[in-house]
Structure formats: structure tokens, C-alpha cells
Amino acid sequence: MIKLQKAYEFSSEDVSRPGPDSNLPDWRGGLGMRRRARVFLTGFVVTLTLVANILSLGITTVSAQEQDQDQGKDNTGTNPVNFSRDIRAYNDFSKLNTEGDGTQNVTTLEFRTPFAEGKWQWRLRTRYNSTKADLNDDGDDDVDESGLGDSDMRFLTVVNLDMETRTAWAAGLEVFMNTGEDEALGAGSTSLGPQLFYVKFLPTGLFAPALQYRFSVDEDDGRNEVDEYVLDLNYLRMAKDKKSWFFADPKLFYDNENDKKYSVVDLEWGWMMANWFEDMAGQSFYLRPKIGLGSDRPIDGAIELGYKIVGW
């Protein structure tokens, strides 16, 4: 069986992701039952603790209307704790870190909506993945597949919003679904990812680090388990007229399963389309180059182009 390094693809703004949503997986055997039990127990405890804290803080969860009133209406889609109804489409083209030539092109469709009187947000993403990779530098593509990739959904709530200190806390759970049409197009596992955001509102934008632990609950035969920590360091700077922005997102990955550590740095420039067309309020586009760092990096570099309709 081919041994293939995980590839990478990521969305605008949030955190997320080599691991359960990677589209170029590492096909090696899983760990022993003792290791499996430890990973599952750790993930279960983290998830249970997160859910318990959300429920205990449920009376302080903040609705989308309250967020709009306190933060000002955000049509850029860059604020992770602003629960608007969005549709997004974006394409990510990556140069893979493989022995020979390797590329991956992923087109993502994303939908977000608030629910429970605006106190929660549900996000769904689905992908079409096209991957080519020469794993041995022999001039032949060992992988050449296209089709439906993995999908994921997330439930997120703001558990605290304090405008005196201009801070917020948000917590959620992401579910990574094993929907890839071919083993080269998905991670081959179903995983959970409890996540915690801290948001500091700044005069010109915000700083929003996020920590997520991802663990698999089911894997296809011969596919790796998922046991990974992801730290996002999101920073947003808005233009004075709030019609354009710069967004930086260094992501740090610690893959316990494969004993790998690496980083992917995203830099995004975005523009509201109402700058040029008055009837396109709430619509925007962005350009996001990326670079992989570290010997274990899944990509050398990438470019993402995206379009959003926010607050419709």
C-alpha cells in the first residue's frame, strides 16, 4: 500500500487543518488498542468538559442580534463570533511537499447560519478535490484522483461577551465526516474536534487565538487514527472605512499520531464589492497566499481565492 503524506487545505478565517480534513492522507497502520483507548478517552473527556462548560454558561450565551449591537454590523465575514448567515465559495491550489511534483486543487462550498435565537451557529463545508502527486520522484504520478472530498460541520456558541474589556469567549464542536469518494481524496476517518476561541476586540480589528483538539472515532481499514492539536493565531486589521481588510493566521500543528510538528501561515487581503458596485452590499472577495514551514509540512505553498455573501 502506498505511503502518502497528508496534504493541506484550509478555509477563510477559522482554524482548521491537516488531520481529519486533510485530503492527501498518510496510509499507515493505526496504533495498538492501548494507544487507541488513550486517544479516545482524551478526546471524550475534552469534549465532555467543553459541553459541560457550555451548558453551565448557557444563560450567558450571546445572540447574533446582541453581537451586532455591541460590535457593529460585520459584513466582511472575518469575525469568528459574529453569527451571520453566509454563503462562501473558495478555491485552494497547493504545491505539495512530496518527493516529486505534487499539486492539489480543492474547491469548497460553505454555508453558515445562526440558530437557537441566534445564540449558536451551524457551519457546513463540502469539497471537490483534485490531487496529483509523484511520491518517488520517478516522473510518474502515484496519485491522480478527482472527486468528492471530506466534509465537516461545526456548532459554535459565544459563552461570554464583555464589552467593558472588549473580549469574548466562544466554544464549539467540529465533526469531520468521512465522505471522500476515493482513499486519496480524504482522511479515511470520522473525527471530532472540540474548539475554544478567545477574542480580543481592538480599535482596528481583533486578535482571536483558537485551540482545537482533533481525535478520530472511526477509521477505514489501514488508515491512520487522528490525534492532533491545532493552534490558530488569528489577527484581523480593518481599513478605516471597513471596506477592506488584512487577515493573518499562523497555524501550529502538533500531530501526536505521526509525531509531526509544522506550521502553515496564511495572509489574506479582502475587499467589499460595494466599493465598486453599490447593489453588492454584503458581498466580498479575498486573496489568501499560504506557506508551509517545517520539515513535516504538508505543503510548500498555496493560493486561495474566495467569494462571500454575508448577512443575507
Residues with Cβ < 8 Å from 250, sequence gap 6 or more?
232, 233, 263, 264, 265, 266
Model confidence pLDDT, tens digit, residues 9-37: 333 344 333 344 444 444 334 445 555 55
Angstrom CA distances, 115 to 15, 62, 85, 156, stand at 21, 12, 10, 10
H/E stretch holding 69: helix 64-71
CA distance 185 to 129: 6
Residue 222's pLDDT is: 87
Q: What is the pLDDT of residues 209-219, one digit of tens each?
A: 999 999 999 99
Segment among 24-38, 97-111, 164-178, 270-284 with least mean pLDDT: 24-38
Sign of CA dihedral 102, 262, 302, 155: positive
Band of pLDDT at residue 292, cut at 50, 70 and 90: very high
Q: Is the pLDDT of residue 296 over 70?
A: yes
Tell me the percentage of the chain whose pLDDT exceeds 70. Answer: 77
Note the pLDDT of residue 1: 34
Position 302 confidence tier, pLDDT thresholds 50, 70, 90: very high
Looking at per-residue confidence, does 268 or 78 come out higher?
268
> pLDDT tens-digit profile of 150-186?
999 999 999 999 989 999 999 999 999 999 999 889 9
List residues bridging with 9 in a β-sheet.
none
Take residue 247 and report the three cell numbers written for it. Answer: 487577515
pLDDT at 74 over 90: no
> pTM to 2 decimals?
0.80
Mean pLDDT for 64-69 is: 52
Rounded Cα distance, 83 and 182, in Å = 34
Q: How far apart are CA 276 and CA 307, in angstroms?
A: 15
Rounded Cα distance between 288 and 229, Å, is: 23
Contact 299, 95 (CB under 8 A): yes
Q: Model confidence at 76, in pLDDT bands (50, 70, 90)?
A: confident
Give the closest residue to 202 by CA, choosing from 61, 80, 71. 71
Mean residue pLDDT of the chain comes to 84
**Is pLDDT above 50 for 109?**
yes
In this prediction, residue 58 carries a pLDDT of: 47
Which cell numbers in the block locate residue 237?
486589521
Query: Which structural domains are found in the chain, ordered by start?
Result: 33-310 (2.40.160.40)
Residue for grid cell 460553505: 110
